[in-house]
Structure 1
Amino acid sequence: METTTRAGELVRRAANPCLPEFLEQQVARHPDRVALKDDSRTCTYAELDQRTNRLVNALAQRGVRHGDRIAILAENRLEYIELEIAAAKMGAILACQNWRQADSELEHCLRLVSPRLVIASARHAPALERIAHGIDTVIRFEDAYEAMLAQASPDARAPDRPLDPEDGMIILYTSGTTGLPKGALISQRAMIARMTVARIDGLLQPADTFIAWAPLFHMVSTDQALATLMTGGTVIVMDGLNVPALVSCLAQEKIGHLTLIPGMIDLVIEELQRSGIAARGVRTLGCMADLVPREQIARITTLLQAPFLNSFGATETGAPPASRAMIPVGVTPTALPKEQSSHCIVRLVDADGKEVPDGMPGEMAVRGPTLFSGYWGSPKETAEDFRDGWFHMGDVFVRNPDGKLDYVDRRKYLIKSGGENIYPAEIERVLLSQPGIADAVVVRRSDPKWGEVPVAFVVKSDPSLQAAQVIEACRGKIAGYKLPKDILFVRDDELPRSTTGKIKRHELEQALAERRVSQANSPVSSIEG
C-alpha cells in the first residue's frame, strides 16, 4: 500500500509541472534572447534566471519561506516581473498592491495578507509612511534592491519543500461587494492553464512580443506577461499608458496581442492618425468590446489591421470563460455574442443552481484549471462563490442555439469603468459616512470614453450641502477612478424601492438617462479621478 501511494505521488508530480520549469526550458533554449526590456535596459533569459535566483536567496535570508506573502507597491518595472518569478521559484506569494487605492484601502489590503515584507518604489513608498501597515521590513527599489541582489548568490536555491502547482503564486485584488477589496489567490496551476488557453485560442504564439503597459497589479498584464515568458517571448514593460510611446513601439515591434481598454482607444486612434505611423504588425488587439463605442472598434482594427478581441473574463478566471470571439477588421458590430473559451466548462443556472434552457437568462458558473484558489482570508465568501463545485461569477448570460453567449447584466450590480471594476457599495460606504447625507445610491452611466462611470443619487439632511463638497469629502477615501462623476440630489421618496425596501438601481439608471429626476442644484460634471 505504501509503495502504491508513493508511486501515485510520483505520477502526480510528473503530470503537474510548476511555472519555473517552463521558464527553465526557455533559459536553456534561448539564454541570450531578450526576456524583458523597457526604455532604458534589457534583460535576457539567462540574466533573468540569475537575477531571480539572487532574489530568491536574498528573500530567504530575510526570512521568507514557502507560503509566505511578499507585498509589492510599485509602478510597472522590470523588477516587478522578477518578483513574480522569484515568488514562483520559492513557493511564496506576491501580493500586488493597487497604487490607485486610497490609503485606507491600501492598509486594508496589506493587513489582509500579513506580508513578511514589502518592496516599494520611490514613487509609491510615501503611501506606506501614511498608514499603519504593521510590516517590519520595507525595501526600496533601486539602490537597496540592487544591493540586496548583489550580496546574494546567483545559484539556484532549492525551495523549503517541493513546489506544487497548487501553490499560491500571486494575489490580485478585486472590488468587494461589502466595499472593501478582496484578495484573489492565483496558483501556479492557474497561471500555466491561462497560458495554455491563450495558446489554444490564438492570443499567444511562441516568441511573441507583449507590451505590458496596463498595471501589473491587473490580470490583463500579469497573465499575458507570464504566459509570454513561459513560451519564450519578450515582454516590453511600460510605466503606464504613454500613447505616443505605445504607438512608436508598434512601429518598431511585431506584437502578438495588444491590450487596449475602454477610455484609451480613441487616444490611440488620434495618435496613429496624427503621427502617420504604421504598425509593424499586430496579430490581435483589444478586450471588453461591450464597453467600447462600436465605431471605435471598426476604426482601430482598420488602422492596425488586426481583429478585436470580444472578451469576457475576470481576475478569478483569467481570459475564460468567454474570450474566444474576434471582431473582424473594419467591422462595426451590431451585436457582441461571446464564444466559450477553450479548456473550461460553462453552465448557466437559475437561483436554485439548476441549468436554464437556451434563450433563458442564467448566472454563469464555470469549471476549469484557470480558476483562482479563493479569496484570501474569506472562506465564507469563497465557499459561497464555489458552491456546488462551480465558480459562480455573478454575471447573467443567455445561450443561443448556436452555443454563443449574450451578456445580460451583473446578478449583483457592478460598474466597469476603463478596465476597473467598481461596486456601488464601495462608494456608498464613503458617502453615507459624510455629515449632511441621509441616504446615497450609486448607479452606472454609459460614458463614451470609459464605458461606464459611477453617478450618485444623494438624499441630503443638510439643505446647504453642495455637490462639490460631497466630491471633496470623498477624495482620499476611495480611489480617484471611483469618484462619482455626477452628484444628483433627490428626495427620499424619489428613490424607487421594491416591496422589501431595496433600491431599484435600473429605474434610477433609466431616470438618469431621461434626466427626469429633480435636482436641488446643478450636478457636478466631468470630475476627473
Structure 2
Amino acid sequence: MTQGNPALEAAGSTVATLFENRARTHPGRVALQSGERQVTYGELADRSRRIAAVLAGRGVTRGDRVAVVSENRTEYLEVVLGAAVLGATVACPGLRAAPGELVACLDLVEPAVLITSEGATRKFTEVLERRTEPKLEFGDGFESELSTTVPWREPSAARPEDVLVVIYTSGTTGVPKGAAISHRAEIARSSATRAEYGLAGDDAFVAWSPLSHMGAFDNSVSTLISGGKVVVVDGFDTAALAHAVATERLGWLLLMPGTVRRFAEVLREKQITPKGVRLCGVMPDLIGPDEIAEITRLLDAPFANTFGATETGCPPCSGDALAVGVEPRRLSKVQSAYCEIRLVGPDDEEVPDGQPGELCMRGPTVFSGYWNDPAATAHDFRGGWFHLGDVFVRNPDGTLDFVDRAKYLIKSGGENIYPAEIERALLRHPEVLEAVVVRRADATWGEVPVAFVARAGDSVTAAELIELCGTQLAKFKRPREIHFVAPETLPRNASGKVVRGELEKHA
C-alpha cells in the first residue's frame, strides 16, 4: 500500500478492480465463451473469487507466483483474475516449450502453485512428477473444489505496480527471459490500443493465439476490463474463427504471418459475410502485400500496421492501419501517441533522420523489467529508456521504417544487409508463404545472405526469386542461395518464431 498520500491511493485501480466494476455494471453480459460454454460477467466474478480462495488456501499471497501451463481455455483467464485479486502473479510458460525449457521457466519464477491442463500434464509428465509445488489440474476435480469453496471476500490486495503476469520472451538463443508486466502497464496498453484503433467497450475478441503470449493475453484482459466478450479458441481453428467472424461483432481480429492466406481461402470457400470487424492482422512486414489486400477486402476491415513487443505492448508504433483492398507499397509506421521514442546509434546517441538507429521507448505501457534478471534489465533500460533491439529509420514526414533486428545484421564486403529487406522482397511473390534470410560465412565477402523459402506450390524457381529481389534491392543484397523448405520443417522456438541460428547451421 502507498502510505501517506491519499491522492495516490485514489489512483490505485488494478485489473482485478476494473474487471469487478464491469461485473457489477452488467453481470448478465457474456464475458467468456468457448464452444457452447458461456460464462457471464457475474459468474466470472464469482468464479475468480473462488479461485482466489482456492489459491489462498494453498498459501498464495500478494507477490507470489502462480504458474499456468495449459492450452487456451476459459479457466486460464479465470485464474488470471483470481490471482489478481490476491495480488499474485501468473507466470505463463507455453505448451510449445521443450521439457528443459519448461523447467527453466518454472525455476525462474519459483511458483507457489502450479496449474496444468490434462494435455499439459500428459505432455510434461516427467517434469511435473519432479516438481514439488502444490498442483492443480483443470477438469472435474478443479470444478468440484470450486463448487465447495466460499468466494474470497477480502478487498483486492494488488497495487498498480504489482506484476500481473510474467510472459516469457521468444529469444532465439538460450532460455527465454520472463517479462514482468504490471497492472499499470496492462491498463495503459488497453487504453492506448482502444483509443488509437477505435475499439468499442463491448467489442468481442477471439483469443486463438496462445494466451501465454502478448497478443491474446493483452487483448483478452483489455476486453474483460472494457465490457466485451472473449471468445476462447484453442489454436488456429479456421472453422471456429470463421464462425466468430460471421456471428460476433469483433474489435481486433489478430491474424499472424502464415495464417492470412489460409484464412482468406476459408472465408472465400464458406462465403462468410462478416458481422463486423474493426481491425485485422498484425506484423504486416512479414506478410505479402497481395495477402493484405485480399484479407482486408474479405473482412472489410483495415490491417493493423503495428510494431510492438512483449515488453512494450502495441506502442511504440500503433498509430496507423492499412487501407481496405489495397496492396501496400510502403509499411511506414506511425508512432503511438502514448509513448516517447528515440533512435540511437551504438553510442546511445540519437541518429539523424534517414539513418538507421535502435528504437528506444518510454511510456506507461512499458513492462517492469525481466524477472530475477537485474543485469539484463539494467542493460536494456540504460539511460532511462527501454532499448528494443530493433532498428528503424525516421523519414522526413516523421514516420518510421522498420529495418530489422540489430542482431540479424549481415556484414557483406563492408556493406550492411538487413535480412528483413530481402524477406519483404521475397514475400511480394504470391507463391511465397514464408521467407527467412540468414547469414552464411563467405571467404570473399565475409558474410552473404541465404534465404529459406516456404512456397505454396513448386512453379516458382530459385532463379526467379533471386531475379525478383534484384528488381527491388541493390545487387549486393540479393540472396546468394535459396533453399525451398516445407513450412513445418522450419525450426521454431516456444512462441513459434523461427530459430535463425539453426538455419544458419544448415546454410
Give the TM-score range, shorter chain. 0.7 to 0.9
Question: Which residue pairs with 1:303 in the alignment?
Answer: 298
2:279 is equivalent to residue 284 of structure 1? yes
2:492 counterpart of 1:528: no
Q: Which residue of 2 aligns with 1:130?
A: 126
Task: Please give the residue correspondences for 1:196-215 in structure 2 after superposition, counting only pairs within 5 Å.
Answer: 196-202=191-197, 204-215=199-210
Find the counterpart in structure 2 of residue 59 from structure 1: 55
Change (3 A) 1:234 1:64: same
Q: Shift of residue 136 of structure 1?
A: 2.8
Contact kept in structure 2, 1:444 and 1:455, CA below 8 Å? no
1:319-375 deviation digits (Å, cap 9, x = unpaired): 110022111111101110000112100111111111112112111000011011111
Residue number among 61, 84, 101 corresponding to 1:88 in the alignment:
84
Q: Is the 8 A contact 1:301 1:308 kept in 2?
A: yes
**8 A Cα contact 1:203 1:284, kept in partner:** no
- Alpha carbons of structure 1 residues 20 and 449: separation in structure 2 relative to 1, 3 Å: farther
Query: What secondary structure, in the 3-state scheme, does the structure 2 residue paired with 1:412 have?
Result: helix
The answer on whether the counterparts of 1:211 and 1:236 sit within 8 Å (CA) in structure 2 is yes
Q: Equivalent residue of 1:384, what SS?
A: helix
Which among 99, 102, 105 is matched to residue 98 of structure 2?
Answer: 102
Query: Match for residue 156 of structure 1?
Result: 153
Q: Is it true that 1:141 corresponds to 2:102 in the alignment?
A: no
Q: Secondary structure at the match of 1:165?
A: coil
2:16 is matched by which residue type in structure 1?
P
For residues 525 and 263 of structure 1, the distance between their equivalents in structure 2, rounded to whole angstroms, comes to 12
Which residue of structure 2 aligns with residue 362 of structure 1?
357
TM-score by length of 2: 0.83
In 1, Cα distance between equivalents of 2:100 and 2:409? 21
Deviation (angstroms), 1:135: 3.2
Cα shift at 1:113: 1.1
User: Conserved in 2, the CA contact under 8 Å of 1:343 and 1:368?
Assistant: yes
Unaligned runs of 5+ in 1: 416-423, 425-442, 458-492, 499-503
Instruction: Tell me the SS of whatever aligns to 2:119.
Output: coil
Q: What is the distance in 2 between the residues matched to 1:165 and 1:526?
A: 42
Distance 1:494 1:254, change over 3 A: same
- Whether 1:313 aligns to 2:308 is yes
Please tell me the root mean square deviation across aligned C-alpha atoms, in Å: 2.7
**Pairing partner for 1:272 from 235, 250, 267:** 267
Partners of 2:443 and 2:148 lie apart in 1 by 63
Instruction: Decide whether aligned partners of structure 1 residues 177 and 210 sit closer, same or farther in structure 2, where only a CA change above 3 A counts.
Output: closer
Mapping of residues 429-440 of structure 1, within 5 Å: none
- Relative distance call for 1:14 and 1:449 in structure 2 (3 A) is farther
| Cα deviation, residue 509, structure 1 | 5.2
C-alpha deviations, 1:216-267, integer Å up to 9, x for none?
A: 0111101011101111111111111111221122111111111111111111
- 2:72 counterpart of 1:76: yes
Matched residues, number = 452
Cα distance in 1 between the residues matched to 2:282 and 2:22: 28
SS at structure 2 position matched to 1:197: helix
Conserved in 2, the CA contact under 8 Å of 1:365 and 1:391?
yes
Q: Give the partner amino acid of 1:130.
A: E
Contact residue 210 and residue 225 of structure 1 kept, 8 A = yes
Work out the CA distance in 2 between the residues paired with 1:221 and 1:414. 30
Match of 1:31 in 2: 27
Partner of 2:254: 259
CA distance in 1, matches of 2:256, 2:295: 12
What TM-score results when the alignment is normalised by the length of structure 1?
A: 0.80
Contact kept? 2:88, 2:158, Cα under 8 Å: no
Residue in structure 1 matching 2:238, options 220, 239, 243: 243
Q: What secondary structure does 1:15 align onto?
A: coil
2: CA distance, partners of 1:341 / 1:373: 20
CA contact under 8 A between 2:435 and 2:452: conserved in structure 1? no
Report the secondary structure of 2:278's partner residue.
Answer: strand
1:62–1:454 distance in 2 versus 1, CA, 3 Å: farther
- 2:398 is aligned with 1:403: yes
Map Cα deviations across residues 259-316 of structure 1 (whole Å, 9 max, x no partner).
1111111111111111112111111111101001000111111111110001100100
Cα 1:79–1:6, aligned 2, differ >3 Å: closer, same or farther? closer
* Distance of 2:304 and 2:159 partners within structure 1: 33
Letter in 1 for 2:403: V
CA-CA distance at 1:134 after TM superposition: 2.8
- Are the equivalent residues in 1 in contact too, given 2:438–2:451 (CA < 8 A)? no
Does the Cα contact within 8 Å between 2:51 and 2:82 map onto a contact in 1?
Answer: yes
| CA 11–496 in structure 1, closer or farther in 2 if over 3 Å, else same | farther
Output the amino acid matched with 1:143: D
Cα shift at 1:131: 2.2
In 2: Cα distance, 1:42 partner to 1:510 partner: 44
Given residue 21 of structure 1, which amino acid in structure 2 is its aligned partner? T
What does residue 44 of structure 2 align with?
A: 48
Indicate the residue corresponding to 2:343 in structure 1. Answer: 348
In the other structure, the counterpart of 1:394 is: 389
The residue aligned with 2:458 is: none
Question: How far apart are the structure 1 equivalents of 2:484 and 2:250?
Answer: 43
Residues 69, 95 of structure 1: 8 Å contact kept: yes
For structure 2, the residue ranges without an aligned partner over 5 or more in a row are 411-418, 454-461, 467-477, 491-507
Q: 1:17 to 1:525 in 2, by over 3 A?
A: closer
Alpha-carbon distance in structure 2 between the residues aligned to 1:130 and 1:456: 38
Query: Partners of 1:117 and 1:13 in 2: how far apart?
Result: 30
Other structure's SS at 1:287 match: coil
- Secondary structure of 1:130's counterpart equals helix
Q: Match of 1:80, as an amino acid?
A: Y
Aligned equivalents of 1:29, 1:527: Cα separation in 2: 46
CA shift, 1:151, in A, is: 2.5
